[in-house]
Chains A and B, each alone.
Chain A
Amino acid sequence: MAIWIEEDAKVLVQGITGKQGMFHADKMVEYGTNIVGGCTPGKGGQTVDLQGQAYPVWNSMFEAIQATDADATVIYVPPPFAGEAIMEAADAFDTIKGEGVVVCITEGIPTLDMVKAVAFVENRPGVRLIGPNCPGIITPGEKGGAKIGIMPGHIHAKGRIGIVSKSGTLTYEAVAQTMSIDEGQSTCVGIGGDPVNGTGFIECLAAFEADPQTEAIVMIGEIGGNAEQEAAAWAAENVTKPIVGFVAGATAPPGKRMGHAGAIISGGKGTAEEKFAAFEAAGIACAKDPSELGAVLLQSLKAAGLR
């Protein structure tokens, strides 16, 4: 099982002929991801060499999905064009298959472009958007698996912990923490650090709750907005599996953007303190230091009779 992305999912790469797209497509193939080709407008008919093998390039996502029956696409398109790339992919998946997963890695997309793109995707209920400004999604497999994004594949292993996070490297930290207590991951989802994004915490929690492979969840938030508070309140009512949490930014000053466009405490709202309190009120076991996520997770697994 795992969520949304099976380990043998067929994946397209938008922007596959660009420097970033090609570099990461190669890493994905190396990991074992079932890449079926890519899309760059104007470069249809060419091929791209990944790990010594030629992969086809199409002019449009309609062509690409028709030819490959892809399940998912990953976007490495520069910010001015990324909003439209999301909508093209959503339109093509919806029209051809009625479903599909669109993963957008790009950082720096104008917020109003994302407002438009997210509304466009929401009008196509079979299509799921993950990101933007995120490391992507990975479902580790027995051998290889589906790595759709920029995360280092080799730190993962197939297992029963679901991970959802707003941050990239902090997700890797969480993965390493699960490995330190000999636990692998079902699926790890980076939902991204932008103020307006696709899939949120609650959808991830719901999917992990429904996924038989996932037995416990790690949720990593950061300052800004109130997605963590809402997710915690939702989890208290709806999630039976143990959740372990961390929130980054306890020392961040108010009114300052901390790297991520969405990581800002505004009007005294969206602080780490507020989010930790919401986690604790919902019965989520919190680590105040990400190096302790493993230990806290182990405790939670033991308390649930899972170790």
Chain B
Amino acid sequence: MNIHEYQGKALLKAHGVPVLEGVHCTTVDQALAAYDQLGSKVVAVKSQIHAGGRGKGNLYAPDTGDLVMEGGVKIAFAKDEVETYATNILGNVLVTIQTGADGKLVRNLYVEAGCDIAHEYYLAILVDRENKSVLIMASTEGGMDIEHVAETTPEKIHKISVDPNAGLLGYQKRDLGLALGLSGGAHKAFAKALSSMYEMFVSSDCSMLEINPLVRTADDGIVALDAKVSFDENAEFRHKNWDDLRDLSEEEEVEIRAKETGLSYVKLDGNIGCLVNGAGLAMATMDVIKLYGGEPANFLDVGGGANEEQVKTAFSIILEDPNVKGILVNIFGGIMRCDIIARGVIAATEALSLDVPLVVRLAGTNVDEGKAILAASTLNIHPADDLAEGAQKIVELIGGVA
């Protein structure tokens, strides 16, 4: 789960990490009031969306598609500039390298005081899958695309692996500060900020905390100038405040609805809907559809113990996508019995008056009973014995290779 920069900064501030004064706004008037309130001559006017690359992105009018402004993050030197930038940002669509061509409608703005920057650094805390531990990454090359730095000058990225039993240790903070070339007051300020960030990462169950740039100010302070924060959704049960931080307008509505009923759904661009049990098998089903010339319309895992109602919900979610021209059901019954799935499929097709071709592949527990139930129905259901046959059949039924 991702949150906005302004929310991430509030969290950083609450944990004692220095950030600049700023105000979250949703209207141009609020942005102007924020400028007066901050009392800073120079302010940053920043689009708030759940995607990176905002500064280098472009804003387009949602109705005409015309270019409104280049750059989703602007520095304003006077109040009238704040007005221009806020007007150009709010209600328009920001397209960045990370949003895809459709971009994202900007509903939130952050107006932030300026500061004198002496140097920009990069800092990130994340879970390292290979070492099974929390990893801290820092670089003197702040404000740049860190993947580019990693490729071209990997020696400029410094890493610390935190022992989960010991926590982040004093020498690790000191060493990392020295590796960044910090000394004196800035070195101390860095160690303190890093402690606070690590504490926030752990206590807030973050999966990613990225500060790019983290800056050293002219007076040797350390300030988080940007904040990209995401949380580990598995830990939601112990963070009741996440409900207030979640911006549903940034998430796919249908994916949220699927999740609420215990289904895992991701929409894709093809025309063959899939309904599968198990994440690995669901991915493999998409892959095999593609292998036989079709294009999957979605990823959908109904889980290990789906009931008739969930199967019905799964069908209705698949059919909401107007591109869907056919559906492939692929179930390997383990705990889930094929006869129950077969009944669920029949109930769902009847209830939803399904009018696209349906191929059902059943295997595993009670497969014979399941197949018999499907065969006895008068509905237009095409059986398949294995995944390859199922994929070939559905590709043929919707009119051949795409």
- Using a CB–CB cutoff of 8 Å, the interface residues on chain A facing chain B are 23-24, 27, 79-80, 108-116, 118-120, 123, 135, 150-152, 154-155, 165-173, 176, 193, 195-196, 220, 222-227, 230, 246, 248-253, 256-263, 267-268, 272, 288-292
Contacts and interface: CB of A to CB of B under 8 A. Distances in A.
A152 B277 CA distance: 14
A246 B234 contact: no
Contacts of B235: 110-113
B237 A80 contact: yes
Contacts, number: 177
A152 B290 contact: no
A251 B295 CA distance: 9
B286 interface: yes
Given A115-B132, A150-B335, A165 B299 contact: no
A27 B301 CA distance: 23
B240 interface: no
Given A167-B281, A251-B283, A152 B129 contact: no
Nearest to A248: B283
B291 to A, nearest CB: 6
Nearest to A256: B266
Given A172-B334, A176-B363, A167 B288 contact: no
B279 interface: yes
Contacts of A114: 132
Given A251-B287, A253-B268, A292-B388, A258 B279 contact: yes
List 10 A-B pairs, minimum CB-CB distance, nearest first: A167-B280, A259-B279, A169-B278, A170-B280, A110-B235, A248-B283, A169-B281, A291-B388, A152-B334, A249-B283
Nearest to B206: A112
B264 interface: yes
A24 B207 CA distance: 32
A167 B387 CA distance: 16
Nearest to A194: B234
Contacts of A135: 334
Interface string B118-158: 00000000010110111000000000000100000000000
Contacts of A119: 132-133, 163-165
A258 B296 contact: no
A255 B388 CA distance: 27
Given A116-B164, A155-B364, A272-B287, A110 B147 contact: no
Given A24-B335, A290-B284, A290-B288, 7 more contacts: A110-B238, A111-B127, A112-B235, A166-B280, A169-B334, A171-B280, A195-B127
Contacts of B287: 248-251, 272, 288-289
A41 B113 CA distance: 54
Interface string B279-323: 111111011111100001001010010000000000000000000
Contacts of B234: 79, 108-111, 261
A301 B332 CA distance: 26
Nearest to A226: B130
A169 B268 contact: no
Given A196-B132, A267-B147, A258 B232 contact: no
A145 B44 CA distance: 66
Contact of A167 (B237, B278, B335): B278
Given A248-B287, A251-B287, A253-B266, A262 B129 contact: yes
14 contacts: A27-B335, A109-B234, A120-B165, A152-B334, A152-B335, A152-B365, A166-B280, A171-B280, A222-B280, A226-B129, A250-B287, A252-B283, A259-B264, A259-B283
B205 interface: yes
Contacts of A113: 235
B386 interface: yes
A8 B207 CA distance: 41
B127 A258 contact: no
Contacts of B202: 112
A295 B296 CA distance: 25
A173 B365 CA distance: 12
A154 B389 CA distance: 24
A173 B133 contact: no
Contacts of A272: 287
Contacts of B207: 111
A164 B332 CA distance: 18
Given A108-B234, A110-B232, A168-B280, A250 B290 contact: yes
Given A251-B296, A291-B387, A173 B281 contact: yes
Which of B134, B232, B289 has the most CB atoms of chain A within a 10 A radius of its CB?
Answer: B232
Nearest to B301: A259
Contacts of B177: none
A167 B238 CA distance: 27
A24 B237 CA distance: 25
A118 B132 contact: yes
B283 A222 contact: yes
B281 A170 contact: yes
Interface string B225-255: 0000000101101100000000000000000
Contact of A289 (B129, B165, B364, B388): B388
B279 A112 contact: no
B277 A169 contact: yes
A73 B165 CA distance: 24
Given A108-B234, A112-B205, A115-B164, A251 B278 contact: no
Contacts of B386: 291
Contact of B332 (A111, A172, A248): A172
